Amino acid sequence: MTTLANYLNTHANHPALNDVITTVTDVGKTISQLLRKGALADILGEAGNQNVQGEDQKKLDVLANDLLLDALAKNAHCAGVASEELDDATPANPDGSLLVLFDPLDGSSNIDINMAVGTIFSILPYQRQGQNSENSDFLQAGNQQLAAGYLLYGTSTVLALTITDNVVMFSLDPDTNEYVLIEENVQIDADTSEYAINASNYRYWRAPMQQYIDELIAGKTGVRGRDFNTRWVAAMVGDVHRILCRGGLFTYPFDTKDANKAGKLRLMYEANPMSLLIERAGGAATDAVNRILDIVPNDIHQRVPVVLGSRNEVAYVKDLHVKHADK
Ligand code: F6P
Ligand code: MN
């Protein structure tokens, strides 16, 4: 049996990284316990505030954010923290060498209905040790990430992590409260017949995305010549987990629903960490055309269209977009 602590000691020759990952995953144990208590912990419902994205915060969003923030502020290696729930990044320890970004509770509309939610995290290097970190220190492309992962609070709590060139998964053992290694080298098939999209936005998509979904729905009777199946968890963390387990394509594409949003998902603490995991498992992640990990951010809360998963399917979507743009 390999615990997370054993794994980190033997695989990451970066003590600061080990320490920060341990802090985040320890908080994950607390969040997991709070979620298990559900209504009994009096944590459900609105907190009465809105976050920087103009969305209502749930009590547990705020709680998860505060727990991560407090724990990371005490970690000597953490130079600063950026979160979906904070307008600006918060400086932590100026001598730290790492910056941590997180979505404390992804898919929070799932909390009140007892469905899967998760914590997504991304760790970047800090270049200005000795000085207080600022928003601009975080604006690094996803290809600079030193580690990324998520905790999925589902029927069991699972940690997916990448610190080397592959992806590993751990399950939180409820008896010992330890993360135990369950998968050492997660790989996604190149082809798939399963896709995830919120199709209620169809009329707001660009023509190539509409064409793509039309083709999938036509199935055997259309140009793809085979049937496809939809699965939609409504929490990115759940959809990405399914893809790491059995392949598939997930997209939250560009839409014109809100002129200020290039896509719903956030580049730095949703798309980037998930893209690193997906690529290292042999999949691909784009904004429909360009590799997500190469996008240089200009805002910590920047949004981006996302197409990720089985690489041949992601390439097919890109092809449709490129052909369309050529016309
Ligand atoms: O964090 C944003 C998010 O909750 C994702 O986890 C999820 O994939 C998406 O939004 C769901 O969006 P919608 O409510 O539009 O289906
Ligand atoms: Mn989210």
Full 3-state SS string of 234-246:
CCHHHHHHHHHHH
For the stretch 14-43, what's the b/e string if a residue is b when 16 or more beta carbons lie within 10 angstroms of its beta carbon?
A: bebbbbbbbbbbebbbebbebbeeeeeeeb
Q: Which atom of ligand 1 is nearest to the CA of 198?
A: 16
Ligand 1 atom closest to Cα of 237? 6
Residue nearest (by alpha carbon) to ligand 1 atom 11:
234
Q: For ligand 1, atom 13, which residue shows the shortest CA distance?
A: 234
Q: What is the pLDDT of residue 16?
A: 96
CA 213 to centroid of ligand 2, rounded, Å: 23
Closest ligand 1 atom to the C-alpha of 84?
1
Ligand number, closest to the Cα atom of 197: 1
The reported pTM is 0.96
pLDDT, one tens digit per residue, over 120-152 is 999 999 999 999 999 999 999 999 999 999 999
Q: Give the number of C-alpha atoms closer than 13 A to the C-alpha of residue 37, restricted to the C-beta side.
A: 11
How confident is the chain (327 residues) per 10-residue block, as mean pLDDT? 95 89 98 87 69 69 95 98 97 98 94 93 97 98 98 97 96 97 98 98 97 98 98 98 98 91 92 98 98 98 98 98 81
Ligand having the closest approach to the CA of 109: 1
Using CB distances shorter than 6 Å, the residues near ligand 1 are: 106-107, 198, 234-236, 252, 264-265
176 burial type by CB count under 10 A (0-12 exposed, 13-18 middle, 19+ buried): exposed
pLDDT confidence of residue 37:
85
Nearest residue CA, atom 14 of ligand 1? 234
Nearest atom in ligand 1 to the alpha carbon of residue 233 is 8
Phi/psi-derived region of residue 159, left when phi > 0, alpha when psi is between -120 and 50, beta in every other case: beta
pLDDT at residue 326, rounded to an integer? 61
Lookup result for tokens 């992640």: 285
Amino acid at 279: E
Helix (H, G, I), strand (E, B) or coil at 2: coil
| pLDDT at residue number 45 | 67
Q: For residue 320, what pLDDT is reported?
A: 98
